[in-house]
Structure 1
């Protein structure tokens, strides 16, 4: 059927801080938690119905449906248990991106344009700043820290370590790749060249290299 109406908006609304993380978390909740739970609930309902028929001497054998319900319940419990850590990490990542986004919003008063969750091809840039000092791409990482004490973040100009360990995915590599992509996109759309050497990123981290998370 052909569409007879269309949206009055010419462009899509700007994305929110952490929107990609929120969407991934919602998909995980639906696929790894809600669907298995619904399957288990359905099989339990069938088993209860068969037991009711058995008690009412209506002859159906509830053993098979009970076995199926137990299997479905075990499957659901397994999926939920395996997804628990991922869901917690996504929740933490979402909170981190929103916190950074709220902080960056203050820079609008200094003449900056602030964009969140800029989607590229197969990846996203958490935040982009465009203002008097230039164009900045910002990668947000929200790592857990010990219950007691802190986790020292150290950047030596090439590698970043948290609590003495290198993250599984280097935020330095990600930040430089995102800056390169943004540089190419701006060149294509505006015809202007922007530096993407990562010097600003290095100076920013060096300024806080001995700080505590």
Structure 2
């Protein structure tokens, strides 16, 4: 073996050694958690044998959970990778006798700073996305809790209905009508205008917030209602009508016109069934439609599962 090959081998072994030392803690910790979970599942099993209905904001809950894991991974990388680079540099200097040089010091410094900045950028973007997801989840929970009150009036209420490539936040099926409800969680400007910051105007065509105007939520609600109408009509074997609804929890809605989409605040949504302009639905169709929607929404596995059902 030549001198160059020996040096390369020593460099490779050194790199592996530094990596093992730096990552041994997280690896052992993760192994202990996995072992404990497997041991618990081997001795006990969940009493639940069927899948659960989706709750308000189920998609956002899953996204938040995954984002938290990714956030912790990014944070761990931000803390360990620069240390690995510095540790490798010092190990080369003191274990392999590599001479210090401006190039080596500069390369290690630039690489460590670059890795830190790259990780910081990922952390910022992921934490910002997580904030938006939490705001959306709060909004969906608030509207879902109001809609659940409609079950006292004989309505079937479902949340986070999985469609094709998207989800409908809430579906309400009742003799008064069938509704596809889109919920939007918009933050308010933090200014000293009091109640003015909490008002949104609706002229039948657009939403006018204190500092911006949009039509996208209305268009989204219409698209989702059209999809649900087509799917549900095919599922029950007869044409049904679906009313698009937009819920804006935390906002006071000032109506200056009427459009194809009904717009409510979070508290007003409980008045949904009292709006008589929606086509009535006979009792048999209510049962059929509710059955079809429930089958699609009952797809959540219990979080505590026996080993033979997978992770």
Deviation at 1:146, TM superposition (A): 2.1
2: CA distance, partners of 1:201 / 1:25: 34
2: CA distance, partners of 1:127 / 1:101: 7
Match of residue 165 from structure 1? 212
Deviation at 1:179, TM superposition (A): 1.0
1: CA distance, partners of 2:55 / 2:259: 23
Using CA pairs below 8 Å that are at least 6 residues apart, which structure has the higher relative contact order? 2
**CA spacing shift, 1:72–1:101, aligned 2, 3 Å:** same
Equivalent residue pairs, number: 197
Q: Which runs of 5+ in 2 are unaligned?
A: 1-47, 246-257, 269-311
Deviation at 1:69, TM superposition (A): 3.0
Please give the secondary structure, in 2, of the residue aligned with 1:101: helix
1:151 to 2:151 alignment: no
Pick the structure with more strand per residue.
2
Deviation at 1:113, TM superposition (A): 1.2
1:113 to 2:156 alignment: yes
Deviation at 1:54, TM superposition (A): 7.4
Q: Which TM-score applies when normalising by structure 1?
A: 0.77
- RMSD between superposed Cα atoms in Å: 3.0
Match of residue 37 from structure 1? 75
**CA spacing shift, 1:34–1:65, aligned 2, 3 Å:** farther
Deviation at 1:204, TM superposition (A): 4.4
Match of residue 138 from structure 1? 181
2: CA distance, partners of 1:96 / 1:50: 48
2: CA distance, partners of 1:202 / 1:196: 11
**CA spacing shift, 1:198–1:101, aligned 2, 3 Å:** closer
Pick the structure with more helix per residue.
2
Is contact 2:144-2:159 (8 Å) kept? yes
Larger Rg: 2
Deviation at 1:202, TM superposition (A): 5.2
